[in-house]
Structure formats: C-alpha cells, structure tokens
Amino acid sequence: MSTDNSSTNCGDLQPALIGDSYRSQNGRTPFIKRLFPSNIFYTRLLHIFCRASRLAKQGKYDNTDCNRDTHQIFRCLEDVGIRFEIENMTAFKNLNTPCVFIGNHMSSLETFILPAILLPNRNVVCVVYKGILKWPVFKDILPSLNPIVVSKTSPREDLTHVLSKGHKSLKQDASVIVFPQGARMTEFRTEDFSSIGVKLAKHAEVPVIPIAIKSDAWGKDGFPITYFGKIDPAKTVRISFGDPLYITGNGKQEHDLAVNFIQDKLTSWENGDKTTPA
C-alpha cells in the first residue's frame, strides 16, 4: 500500500516510510523555492552538516542522530520540490537477518537518503572512499558512524578490507550498503558494477538486496565540489528495492540477477519518463 505525506516542513523528521512504498505528495512549491531550489537546499544542508559535525566532535553523534539528520535532508529536498517514489520496502523490512545492499550510484543523493529509509528498520554501515574523510565536516561525522573505508587504489586490498570489516559488521547485526560502481555515473554500465557486494554476502552467509536508483535530480556538476550539483525538481527521484537474493555457488547467478534488476528498472523509468505528458 502506498503512503502519501502532504507535509513538506523541513523540520518534520517523520516521513511516512512505514509501508511498502512511498510517493511524495504533489503539492505546489512556493515560487521562491522553485526559482532557487539549489541555494535554499544547500543552505539548509550546510546547517545540518555543521550541527552534526559539532556533535561528532563532542563524541555525541551516532546512528540515531544520522537517522534524524537524513530524515531532515529528505524533507528539505521535498520542500524545494523534489518528489520521491520508493517501492518494495518490505524486501528489507520483512528480513530477519542483516544483509548487503548493492545499488547503482547515480549521484550524492542516495548517500544521504538511503539511511533515512533504512535506519528506522535496521542498523547500517556504508562503504565509503577514504578521500571523503579528509573533507571539512565529513572528517568529523563519518568516523562516528563506523564506515568501511576503501582507497580505490588497490582493488585487491579493498576487497580484503571489505570482506573483513563487512563480515564483522554483519555478524554484529549491521547491514552493509555498497555501491559497486565505485564512482557516481548517470549511465548504468553493467561492466563497471563489480561483484564485491555479492562476495561479501557469500563470505558472511547473508542475502543481497539490490537497489535500483534514479537520482539525477541531484546533479554532479557542482563547483567547486562536484558532489554538490544543481538540484532539479523537474526530475523525480525513484528508488526500488529488489527481493533478497540468497547466494549459492560462486554467486555469479545472484550478481547477474541483481544487475538485471537494476538495468530493467532504470530502463523502465527512462521509457516511462519519455512517454509521460509534460
């Protein structure tokens, strides 16, 4: 059953993500927010980051705070006109074991929005690039959330580290979020989608849940930081969770199923957008 929520108050920290799916209410966005969505959103985002950094420096930032802040980011995006469509959340809500989430990486949006969706139901840790730990604010916040850090310079060492620390996190009942593409890509190229998530799931004997993500409403053309590009409310954010895949054999079949799920969803969304009347 789809749950609509008409509230676009940035301070409302309880999005209606309680059912199987979620669709943002098609309310009218005030003119000033439609005119300057990026300026308004990033001003609010900076405030959230600074507050989180201050708490982290005091040793007072954890997943509870992350849950609150990512919910607020979710609401702030809706407040400037971004609309979300999220489906099949029961794929992880009905799961009685930790899992490995593997999704395509289209923009920075999923980095902040997936915790808002997942944290109310399960503890999660993310695989992140170590370069982000050098950024102001992030260097304070991220260590508080115990991420799995990779270098991107040695795939073999990264795999060993992900298998080791990821296995430990999963055994402690924390699910792991992995973006196997490594970098943000608007186009989904199956050859760039590594099997690192499936290998971790096989190693820890837990299922994989694929996630198809269309998040180009958050641009990757930002200056001077490319991660923070133009916010485009004309584009709908779509997130779909696949059913759990339990690894058998060497995992190639499950990897292919996950890739096909993501590819099929992205193609379906693209075709649907082309046929939707303006």
Distance CA 26, CA 219 (A): 22
- The gap from C-alpha 81 to its chain's centroid, in whole angstroms, comes to 19
With contact defined as beta carbons under 8 Å apart, do 165 and 148 qualify? yes
Domain carrying residue 122: 83-275
Does residue 38 belong to any structural domain of this protein? Answer: no
The amino acid present at 200, given as its one-letter code, is L
Question: How many CB atoms lie under 10 A from the CB of residue 226?
Answer: 12
pLDDT at 116: 94
Query: Residue 182 maps to which CATH number?
Result: 3.40.50
Report if residue 65 sits inside a domain: no
User: Is 114 part of a structural domain of the chain?
Assistant: yes
| Contact residues for 211 (Cβ-Cβ < 8 A; gap 6+) | 101, 102, 103, 104, 110, 114, 239, 240, 241, 242, 262
Whether residue 29 lies inside any domain: the answer is no
For residue 145, is it within any domain? yes
Q: Retrieve residue 251's tokens.
A: 């995992």
Is position 217 within any domain? yes
Identity of residue 170: L
How many independent structural domains does the chain possess? 1
Q: Are 121 and 93 in contact (CB under 8 A)?
A: yes
pLDDT for 13: 43
Structural domain includes residue 194: yes
In a domain, 24, yes or no: no
Structure tokens at 257: 């199923």
- Measure the CA–CA gap between 208 and 21, rounded to whole angstroms: 20
Q: What is the pLDDT of residue 7?
A: 40
HSE value, Cβ hemisphere, 13 Å, CA-based, for 206 = 27
pLDDT along the chain (278 residues), means of 10: 43 64 88 92 95 96 94 95 96 96 96 94 92 88 93 87 95 96 86 94 97 94 72 97 96 97 96 67
| 28 CA to centre of own chain | 26
SS3 track for the chain: CEEEECCCCCCCCCCCCCCCEEEECCCCCCHHHHHCHHHHHHHHHHHHHHHHHHHHHCCCCCHHHHHHHHHHHHHHHHHCCCCEEEECCHHHHCCCCCCEEEECCCCCHHHHHHHHHHCCCCCEEEEEEHHHHHCCCHHHHHHHHCCEEECCCCHHHHHHHHHHHHHHHHHCCCEEEECCCCCCCCCCCHHHCCCHHHHHHHHHCCCEEEEEEECCCECCCCCCCCCCCCECCCCCEEEEECCCECCCCCCHHHHHHHHHHHHHHHHHHHHHHHHCCC
